[in-house]
């Protein structure tokens, strides 16, 4: 459950981990083809734990830290995982020292591996398949993350000039998610992410170009602990920026590209994130905010704010 930033490695450009919907999605697309992209794929890219065999609680490793109370090796079930694949302390994860679990989002990869790739096989009942299932889960997670961003890009009107290429990439990526376990294990994810990332960079340029004036470029910048209270970051490029514990109170982040930005413990109190894009719920969950933080319609205010 380790956090990543951009992709190809450790979320450089297209995060290999955690898709939420910015304000642009509230605009009505002019093409009939654009509507189904959001509606038909939306639920497939959200975690459905009831149809997963607790894969994130088994397949992924984590180390004792401020995010996790214990060490756990990959392939070893978390001590809190129950026989029904539910978390025994789900309602108390933060209080029990597991805030990292509240941030992680498989984006639907868990149920895809459980119900599609392995046809409903339970790793406990079919231990011979367990190792392979655990190995391909992170790969599926990366593919679903790419699907998330491509789906979002297709809802952004300024990116309409490249919608055909985005849709083609979306269809190809979705095809890959239906590969056999053997083919999933052999995928060159660096290459896959690199190809999609080029389209997402073009999307970002087209969307941010709609903001008048000069925009800040903090792509990959080390802004750990930075004092950015009230900063004008509208239309900014914050791809992969390290904003850990940054003070972003009352900052203007409208129409900012936040793909892969590390917002752990960043203070977003009073900040305006309406219309920011490639911002995921997981990123929000890792940050701090309050009742005055403004979010796009399809993002949820975290319960711990």
> Which residue matches tokens 């297709």?
154
**11 pairs with which residues across the strands?**
6
pLDDT at 166 over 60: yes
* Confidence at residue 164, expressed as pLDDT on a 0 to 100 scale: 97
Q: Residue 170: what pLDDT?
A: 97
For residue range 197-233, what is the model confidence (pLDDT) as tens digits? 999 999 999 999 999 999 999 999 999 999 999 999 9
DSSP state of 133: H
Alpha-carbon distances of 148 from 16, 46, 72, 136, rounded to whole Å: 11, 9, 28, 18
Q: Which band of pLDDT confidence, cut at 50, 70 and 90, is reported for residue 81?
A: very high
Longest dimension (CA), the chain: 60
Specify whether the CB–CB gap between 138 and 59 falls below 8 A: yes
pLDDT of residue 7: 40
Indicate if the pLDDT at residue 27 is higher than 60.
no
> Please, what are the domains in the chain?
1-210 (no CATH), 214-305 (2.160.20.80)
pLDDT range class, residue 4, cuts 50, 70, 90: very low
Here the tokens at position 157 are 């009107």
Residues 35-43 have a mean pLDDT of: 44
- Per-residue confidence (pLDDT) for residue 111, from 0 to 100: 96
In this structure, are residues 57 and 87 in contact, taking their beta carbons and an 8 Å threshold? Answer: yes
Mean pLDDT score across all residues of the chain = 87
* CA–CA dist 114, 20 (Å, integer): 23
On whether the CB atoms of residues 75 and 131 are closer than 8 A, the answer is yes
- Quick: pLDDT tens for 117-133: 999 999 998 988 999 99
pLDDT for residue 304 is more than 70: yes
- Taking residues 257-275, what's their average pLDDT? 97
């Amino acid at each position: 459950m380790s956090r990543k930033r951009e992709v190809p490695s450790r979320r450089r450009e297209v995060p290999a981990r955690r898709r939420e919907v910015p304000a642009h999605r509230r605009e009505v697309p002019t093409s009939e083809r654009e509507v189904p992209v959001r509606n038909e794929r939306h639920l497939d890219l959200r975690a459905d734990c009831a149809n997963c065999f607790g894969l994130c609680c088994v397949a992924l490793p984590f180390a004792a830290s401020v995010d996790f109370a214990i060490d756990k090796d990959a392939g070893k079930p978390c001590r809190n995982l129950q026989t029904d694949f539910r978390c025994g302390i789900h309602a108390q994860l933060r209080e029990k020292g597991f805030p990292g679990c509240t941030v992680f989002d498989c984006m639907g990869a868990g149920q895809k591996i459980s119900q599609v790739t392995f046809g409903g096989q339970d790793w406990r009942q079919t231990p011979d398949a367990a190792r392979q299932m655990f190995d391909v889960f992170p790969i599926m997670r990366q593919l679903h993350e790419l699907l998330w961003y491509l789906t979002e890009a297709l809802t952004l009107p300024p990116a309409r000039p490249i919608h055909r290429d985005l849709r083609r990439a979306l269809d190809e990526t979705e095809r890959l998610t239906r590969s056999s376990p053997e083919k999933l294990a052999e995928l060159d994810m660096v290459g896959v992410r690199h190809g999609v990332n080029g389209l997402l960079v073009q999307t970002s340029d087209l969307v941010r170009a709609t903001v008048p004036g000069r925009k800040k470029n903090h792509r990959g910048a080390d802004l750990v602990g930075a004092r950015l209270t009230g900063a004008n970051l509208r239309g900014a490029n914050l791809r992969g920026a390290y904003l850990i514990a940054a003070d972003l109170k009352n900052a203007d982040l409208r129409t900012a590209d936040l793909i892969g930005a590390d917002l752990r413990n960043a203070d977003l109190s009073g900040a305006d994130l309406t219309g920011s894009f490639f911002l995921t719920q997981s990123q929000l969950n890792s940050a701090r905010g309050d009742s005055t933080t403004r979010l796009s319609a399809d993002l949820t205010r975290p319960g711990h704010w």
